[in-house]
């Protein structure tokens, strides 16, 4: 049975983190196959992102969160 509701969060990459935010999303999508809703979709700064996590298994959620972190770290090296 599919869930009737989902959980979401709306975290941000702190302003003091020196990373090209466009690169974060590109790396996340192209290298890790991880997709979030960028903040500008919700009339927010690009540093915010919407993460939905109502349906994944624990391992999928953990992998996705690790991919987000790795994408930020990689984009910081490019900045």
5 domain residue, yes or no: no
Can you give the pLDDT at residue 62? 92
Domain count, the chain: 1
pTM of the predicted structure, to 2 decimals: 0.87
Tell me, what's the pLDDT at 58? 85
What's the confidence (pLDDT) of residue 31? Answer: 97
Residue 4 lies in a domain: no
Confidence of residue 3 (pLDDT cuts 50, 70, 90): low
49-52 β-sheet, strand order: 8-9, 49-52, 37-38
The answer to whether 63 and 19 have CB atoms below 8 angstroms apart is no
pLDDT score of 4 more than 90: no
Check residue 34 and give its pLDDT.
95
pLDDT tens column, 28-50? 999 999 999 999 999 999 999 99
> What average pLDDT does the structure give for the chain?
92
8 assigned to some structural domain: no
The answer as to whether 34 is a domain residue is yes
């Amino acid at each position: 049975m599919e869930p009737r509701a989902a959980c979401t969060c709306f975290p941000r990459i702190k302003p003091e983190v020196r990373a090209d935010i466009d690169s974060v999303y590109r790396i996340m999508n192209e290298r890790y196959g991880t997709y979030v809703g960028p903040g500008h979709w919700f009339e927010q700064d690009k540093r915010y992102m919407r993460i939905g996590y109502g349906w994944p298994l624990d391992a999928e959620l953990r992998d996705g969160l690790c991919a987000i972190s790795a994408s930020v770290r990689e984009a910081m090296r490019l900045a």
